[in-house]
Amino acid sequence: MTLPKVAKIRQKFQTESIKDIPGAIGEQFLHVNADEKIKPGMEIAITVGSRGIANIPLIVKSVADEIKKRGASPFIIPAMGSHGGATAEGQIEVLEGLGVTEESTGCEIRSSMDVVEVGKTSDGVPVYIDKNAYQADGIIVMGRVKPHTDFKNKVESGVLKMASIGMGKHKQALALHTHGIKGISEMMPEVGKVAIANSNTLFGIAIVENAHEETAIIEAIEKDRVEERERELLKEAFALMPSLPVENMDILVVDEIGKNYSGTGMDTNIIGRIRVLGVEEPQKPSVKYVIASNLSEASHGNALGIGLADLTTKRLFEKVDYQAMNENVITSTFLARASIPIILDNDQEALKAALRANWGVSPEKARIARIPNTLHIGELYVSEVIFNELKDKENIEVLEDLHEMKFDENGYFLPM
């Protein structure tokens, strides 16, 4: 089978980013009157989740430094539900994979799955908080505000999600996911509000990234304004969110899936697939076949999201830690996302299989895109048909002209 030629392009996004992160965080501490909230001798917990947030080690260190300036002692709590295999040790490993360590941030990590019940929602859902955070003199709930990969609502991923499923650990994740999609789309925000109100939470810190996955906004938010402000920031996050340059593809190759790129392994907003019972599939982008080529090392074997693909490779399959993946997916109840797709020897064979099933379209006319992962889509490879549609557009820069696809001796694509 003759494979189509490809070209490498770069999408140009109109973006602005924060250049001085420590300075911006210092200003935000003043914005919420941190001098009045943080006193010498206090122990302050900082929540850090499992997502691959840009500059996260520096952001955490800068927050910790501001706490230290006021004579208090910061420490990190992993705020990530059931991730890391739902173990204290596994969650430390997840942080390490993100570059968040005691050495990089200058503060202690206290990881535990123990929680304290602090109240109930109006629906009777119990609300839990990490025991170490609950016992602290203060908590700073930090999270990235962005469109969620499972649902659409006025509040999605952000500070309230970190305050609920994040701080509530595995027990809170189970309590919410038992209700299916309603648990995280409708009940989660109230759980977060109860957790903030019934704890020593000092304020929230919201992070928003631009289309180049750079830090665009860092904002400290008073605890009683978290929901109101998060709704506004979500709109900004939507406006800044990147997308693939075309809406219709026959084949999308994702070089790496992983929890460090998206909580679902592959961002459903990018690939146009959700695969959750009761949730309508997006109309765009439209992709006939998704190939998942590899699993990131930072995922530690958790291949959640592999079920969003149609084909995968032996390389990825052999890296799966079923205990870690199953713990995560069973907790979420979105079982289809851990389904194992067709396994091929390598990228080349997976691509040939997808082309074979691409009814009525000759290989040279196939609409193919290849991205490194769903977090970084600024640079990508596209097949000749797509390239001819895009090459003259103002927001497209051609990095490599049309050429034959390049594979290594094992049949895998050469790194981007």
Can you give the pLDDT at residue 73? Answer: 98
Can you give the pLDDT at residue 156? Answer: 86
Q: Please spell the DSSP secondary structure of 61-79, one letter per residue.
A: HHHHHHHHHTT-EEEEEE-
The answer to whether residues 301 and 263 touch, using CB atoms and an 8 Å cutoff, is no
Can you give the pLDDT at residue 84? Answer: 84
Cα gap 267→350, rounded to integer Å = 21
Of 276, 202, 252, nearest in space to 354 by CA: 252
Can you give the pLDDT at residue 136? Answer: 98
Name the pTM for this structure.
0.76
Can you give the pLDDT at residue 327? Answer: 86
Cα gap 92→189, rounded to integer Å = 26
Mean pLDDT by 10 residues, the chain (416 residues): 95 88 98 97 96 93 98 97 87 94 97 97 95 98 89 88 95 91 90 97 97 92 96 92 94 95 91 90 94 95 97 98 91 92 98 98 97 95 98 96 97 96
Cα gap 35→29, rounded to integer Å = 8
Can you give the pLDDT at residue 153? Answer: 84
SS (H, E, C) 244-273: CCCCEEEEEEEEEECCCCCCCCCCHHHHCC
CB-based contacts of 248, cutoff 8 Å, min separation 6: 285, 286, 367
Of 252, 262, 259, nearest in space to 374 by CA: 262
Can you give the pLDDT at residue 151? Answer: 77
Can you give the pLDDT at residue 328? Answer: 86
Can you give the pLDDT at residue 1? Answer: 86
Q: What residue type is 256 in one-letter code?
A: E
Can you give the pLDDT at residue 181? Answer: 85
